[in-house]
Amino acid sequence: MILEHKFEPVFDNNSKVLILGSFPSVKSREQGFYYGHPQNRFWRLIAQICCCDVPCTIDEKKDLCISNGIALWDTVASCEIEGSSDSSIKNVKPNDLSVITGSCGIKAIFTNGGTAYRLFVKYQQNVINRTAVKLPSTSPANAAWSFERLYNEWKIIEKYL
């Protein structure tokens, strides 16, 4: 069964960094927003990078991104996926990233994990003529990476904000 990405990208004219995931997890789809699994470390990482409190509500998460020049979306608009397993993604229809890259001054694109990076390279890199930096996944499935180790990789974003 093909699943559709149901929530909009987060960005405005002042966005400087674009962070791309692959496709929303089951928990994110239930909540209707990015990185909804309580053990996903994305929001804690972004809050630390931006020297802010960890956001709790969807509005707080959007505000954190917008007020710090961060655009957020996923590489996949629709696909077949088993649960939340990125490795099961097939029959991909990519999102049109030019919606963001064509309307604001994105200085750098980062992917949250290897699948997002692989899908970006396959479907979008040549279309938008931009490259991306692959960052380690913030997913709880990436348990081998401690929060501190993730932060040390993800803090590269700071220099573009």
Return the active site residues. Answer: 40
Find residue 79's DSSP bridge partners: 3
Q: Cβ–Cβ contacts within 10 Å for residue 147, how many?
A: 13
Enumerate helices (H) and strands (E) in the chain, giving the number of each.
Answer: 7, 7
Q: Which token pair is 15?
A: 């966005």
Strand partners, 134: 111
Residue 101 and residue 18 in contact, taking contact as beta carbons nearer than 8 Å: yes
Look-up of token digits 């956001």: 55
User: Are 121 and 92 within 8 A, CB to CB?
Assistant: no
